[in-house]
Amino acid sequence: MVALTEATASNKRIAATFPDGLVAVFVGGTSGVGEYTVKAFAKYTRNSRAYIVGRSEASATRILDECRALGPSSTFEFLQGDISLLNTVDDICKKIQAKETAISILFQSQGTMAVNAVTSEGIPLGVSLSMHSRTRFILNLMPLLQRATSLRRVVTVLAATCEGALDVNNLAGIGLSVLQRRDQLASAQTLLLENIQEKIPGADSVGYVHDVPGVVQSGINRDAEGFGIKVMIAVAGLLGPLIRTPIKECAEMHLFFATSSRFASGAGSGAADGVPLQGGVEVARGTIGKTGSGVYSVSNRGEPGPPRAEKALAGLRGDGTATKLWDIVMAQSKKVTGTESL
């Protein structure tokens, strides 16, 4: 387990480790984990640039003002759009590509608890936000990530360490319990990251972190559907003070995930792998059971998932499910946009 003090100590060395001008993109950054992390990024970096992507202009205006106060030497910009739509994802990525030649951090925390909604592009909303949208952002921005010289990191916040059964014929999880749907989303996210690392040339020079944030105060509950989910939200609300991850801890840990060399790329990119480790913190075990493999599924304290999660992932790779999932996501992207990526 990585202690909060260790994560904070690492974050305090960000400015001394990297040259000025780090560029980060925070998708879903107008509330919850994304908001907390971009503020930590503003606090610890110098002369950096951050793009906050989301729907709420009112929330973004407030967050931009707070970030500018925390990091007066840096610049912060809001890119508005419905990121459940793949064509909107493309539009936003084109705007970033027009402004930047390289980015160091792609941080994604978009999500929903609406289990029945379908986007105007014909994709179940939850599947679009947790699988299609996230994958599309990574693929579109991969060339910019690969051009970064001081840090290359993707962080995706979902349900890491809970990987379990995955039915590619029911990605929306219709008829599944809340926990079964969670486990399926976890497996899908981790396997998609593994596929990106394996299939995209040069993508192994990027470190990929899939984490679970724990119980965090955020806006994701506003569109919750289903009796089981609503019961869980109610219980979490009652137990909040006892089980909720404090905002400061959430921010520090997620910035650590985005910048520490504990989550080195599979290619071992040296200086581009992050803030050097200190105080007994070591490179993490990746999702294939190998230290430093480049794709990591970790808890809110940066610890790898349990053996059962690794076993579940191994089974899904072995029976061809991982490849089928990738093919489905790529086919859907091509159907909606005409291409697998920009």
Number of domain units in the chain: 1
Determine, yes or no, domain membership for 160. yes
3-state SS, residue 108: strand
Report the percent of the chain where pLDDT is more than 70.
91
What H or E segment, with its residue span, contains residue 54? Answer: strand 49-54
Determine, yes or no, domain membership for 153. yes
What H or E segment, with its residue span, contains residue 237? Answer: helix 227-243
Determine, yes or no, domain membership for 283. yes
pLDDT value for 114? 73
* Mean pLDDT for all residues in the chain: 92
pLDDT value for 233? 46
Mean pLDDT in residue range 152-158: 97
* Residue 264 reports pLDDT greater than 80: yes
- Structural domain harbouring 35: 19-337
**Which CATH number goes with the domain that contains 198?**
3.40.50.720
Mean pLDDT in residue range 240-250: 75
Q: Tell me the pLDDT band of 305, cut-offs 50, 70 and 90.
A: very high
* Residue 176 reports pLDDT greater than 90: yes
Mean pLDDT in residue range 7-27: 96
pLDDT value for 84? 97
Mean pLDDT in residue range 193-206: 97
Total residues belonging to the chain = 342
For residue 6, how many C-alpha atoms fall within 13 Å in the half-sphere facing its CB?
16
* Residue 271 reports pLDDT greater than 70: no
This prediction's pTM:
0.93
Determine, yes or no, domain membership for 241. yes
Determine, yes or no, domain membership for 32. yes
- Rounded CA gap, 286 and 305, in Å? 9
pLDDT value for 218? 57
Determine, yes or no, domain membership for 14. no
pLDDT value for 236? 46
- Residue in the structure block whose two tokens are 């109610």: 234
**Residue 249: Cβ within 10 Å count:** 18
pLDDT in tens, 110-136: 987 677 899 999 999 999 999 999 999
pLDDT value for 270? 57
* Residue 196 reports pLDDT greater than 50: yes
Determine, yes or no, domain membership for 3. no
Which residues of the chain form beta strands (DSSP E)? 23-27, 49-54, 75-80, 105-108, 153-157, 207-211, 295-298
pLDDT in tens, 216-242: 765 544 554 555 554 444 444 544 454
Phi, psi of 125 (to 5 degrees): -55, -45
Determine, yes or no, domain membership for 11. no
